[in-house]
Chains A and B, each alone.
Chain A
Amino acid sequence: GNSVTQMEGPVTLSEEAFLTINCTYTATGYPSLFWYVQYPGEGLQLLLKATKADDKGSNKGFEATYRKETTSFHLEKGSVQVSDSAVFLCAPKGDNFNKFYFGSGTKLNVKP
């Protein structure tokens, strides 16, 4: 069946550290891939997206590349800030993800 797997958190990093949050999915089709971010006490915000293989989505210093061969969409940032502390949710969406569900979310804590 279709599913999405995110690395478990929380992830705790020092400011300016490199961030990777893994996301892999299983699908029989070609979903569009999204990362959402949820800051404390707020709703979800679209962070970035990619709609086809090898596309790279980027926003606010975060990047993720649609890797069809490994069915992954890992989120990266070269230098995190305290203000990046949030929950990050991976969300494939498309023909075979018609149930519109999110990954379990990964909480990021960035310490000064």
Chain B
Amino acid sequence: DTEVTQTPKHLVMGMTNKKSLKCEQHMGHRAMYWYKQKAKKPPELMFVYSYEKLSINESVPSRFSPECPNSSLLNLHLHALQPEDSALYLCASSQDFMGAQYFGPGTRLLVL
């Protein structure tokens, strides 16, 4: 099983809403990632978790709050987002920092 799943596939939210994106993998990977991808651009790294601990935060605004409840799950909590935060949010996992990353299909977020 080399699948990373993400829910929801699409999300529309207002600037005052609170929502969460979810990511799950059952490959036993110990590193998990959140990326943001704008149209026609490569993915930009947001956060990296290693062994369920946050190891990299790429200076992401605090309105994005990651959480890793266990080794298989990764959440991204969203609060008070701006329209410019509209993008495709991708989750990925890898065995370790050196290994290939496996991506989920993404959540397409629209902030109104």
Contact = CB atoms under 8 A, between A and B. Distances in A.
Interface stretch (B60-68, B79-87, B103-111): B103-111
Interface string A101-112: 111110000000
Main secondary structure of the interface of B (DSSP, over half): loop
Interface in A52-92: 89
Main secondary structure of the interface of A (DSSP, over half): loop
Interface residues of A, number: 20
Interface of B: 33, 41-45, 48, 56, 58, 88, 90, 92, 97-106
Given A42-B105, A98-B97, A100-B45, 19 more contacts: A32-B98, A32-B100, A43-B88, A43-B103, A43-B104, A43-B105, A44-B43, A44-B101, A46-B102, A93-B97, A93-B98, A99-B45, A99-B56, A100-B33, A100-B56, A101-B42, A101-B45, A102-B43, A105-B42
